[in-house]
Structure 1
Amino acid sequence: MVLSKGMSARSAPTKKRGYHHGDLARALVTAAADLIEKKGPEAFTLREVAAAVGVTHGAAYRHFEDKQALLAAVAEEGYRTLTMHLARALAGDENDPRKRLRMLAAAYVSFALDKPAHYRVMWGPRLNEDGRFPSLETAIEEGFVLLITEFQRGQAAGVFRREPARDLAIAFWVAAHGYVELVMRRRLKVKSTKAAMDYFLRLLDPFIDGVTVDTKRRS
């Protein structure tokens, strides 16, 4: 390195750490999630997100044309992470459909309480009414298909009732989402994420009994 006349190594200017291609978008999504957790999804601005990352708002707008686009990216990241959590929960050797359903339930609650900012955006006002964000719809569908597939698997094994698997998946999702909302809004007080998971599994037993062909087979 060649220093200008009169410039010491200590005083030499250093370049700010730049973002590699693709990194800035992720950094903006992460910063948005942090602000959402502190202020809520309605209260922050895209300029605030850019400032939190240390870039100009113009740089942020090159990745997200408006706040809704950034919220859609936060939601998409949330849905993909949720699907990953659900798939990971089923990655073991457990074959009992009822136990697998309980594993999905625990994974859902764990994700929601671990990623509250993402969860709030995922289940907030619908972001893709005008079809601007097709990848968001794909991310939503992937998690839902995983859940439908589990009910179909249980039906094929003769464990779950022959109701439309999509309807059973919706009922499961309604139960899980309703429970999480009560916990997050402190209508139900739990001491920890594990306590929240354990309590939901107890509450879920009647649902599992209801979708099981023979409740005596419940373990």
Structure 2
Amino acid sequence: MAKRGYHHGNLKQALVEATLRLIEEKGPTGFTVAEAAKLAGVTPAAVYRHFEGREALIAECALQGHRIFGDLMEHAYAGGHPTALKAFEATGRAYLAFARKFPGHYMAMFESGVNLQANPALATAADRSRGVLEQAAQKLSEHIPADKRPPATMFSSHIWAMSHGVVELFARGAPGAKAPYPPEDLLEAGIGIYLRGLGLIEPDR
């Protein structure tokens, strides 16, 4: 009798979906290949037809996540916003929305320790989403004198770090239930303080 895995439809994607569920439940390092195989309804040996091991499974989850994330970020930025500021704020909201809707992908991307440089496709996908935020930062800071303008990479990295902190502390899991304010409000206020410090928006009166 043939093994179950050899009669499975899209075995590779079934294993990815199983891995995402396990990541959500146990974290990116809290499960085994055997558990992913069992959840997908195949034998552990069948996993190795597509993946070298758990790290490769996680890397595929991260790759798919970065591609979804890049699509969302590009859509948010190119959404017909009236000002560069509104477009920039939209990318922050897209970050929070992605983390909520795709928690397994998010953890694989940012919490698994996956090595981007060891996977060219993954590195390219990650650069794409970061590039959207850098583009938004560059556009927003164009009117600052060049000698006082922060590099777009630094500017966007600060906002990325702020977004990640809001997600980790207030937008996912049990800590999210204790958030003093909606995560969107926290991020918007934080971005506002940062941008005022750069002179990109007027101080509150």
Change (3 A) 1:56 1:201: same
| 2:161 equivalent to 1:174 | yes
- Length, aligned pairs only: 197
Equivalent position of 1:35 in the other structure? 22
> After the TM superposition, which of the residue ranges 77-86 and 170-179 deviates more from structure 2?
77-86
Structure 2 residue ranges without an equivalent (≥5): none
Equivalent position of 1:148 in the other structure? 134
Equivalent position of 2:95 in the other structure? 108
Structure 1 residue ranges without an equivalent (≥5): 1-14
| 2:196 equivalent to 1:209 | yes
Equivalent position of 1:59 in the other structure? 46
Q: Secondary structure of 2:111's partner?
A: coil
CA displacement at 1:109 relative to structure 2: 0.8
CA displacement at 1:27 relative to structure 2: 1.5
| 2:137 equivalent to 1:128 | no
CA displacement at 1:200 relative to structure 2: 2.0
In 2: Cα distance, 1:175 partner to 1:217 partner: 20
Change (3 A) 1:201 1:112: same
In 1: Cα distance, 2:67 partner to 2:122 partner: 9
**Contact 1:35 1:49 (C-alpha < 8 Å) held by counterparts:** yes
Change (3 A) 1:162 1:80: same
Which residue of the other structure, out of 161, 184, 193, is the alignment partner of 1:197? 184
Which residue of the other structure, out of 53, 70, 84, is the alignment partner of 1:83? 70
Which residue of the other structure, out of 38, 55, 62, is the alignment partner of 1:68? 55
Q: TM-score, normalised by structure 2?
A: 0.84
**Contact 1:98 1:208 (C-alpha < 8 Å) held by counterparts:** no
Q: Secondary structure of 2:78's partner?
A: coil
Identity %: 31
Paired residue type of 1:143: S
Q: Which protein has the larger Cα radius of gyration, Structure 1 or Structure 2?
A: 1
Equivalent position of 1:8 in the other structure? none
**Contact 2:66 2:126 (C-alpha < 8 Å) held by counterparts:** yes
Paired residue type of 1:112: A
Q: TM-score, normalised by structure 1?
A: 0.79
CA RMSD of aligned residues (A): 2.7
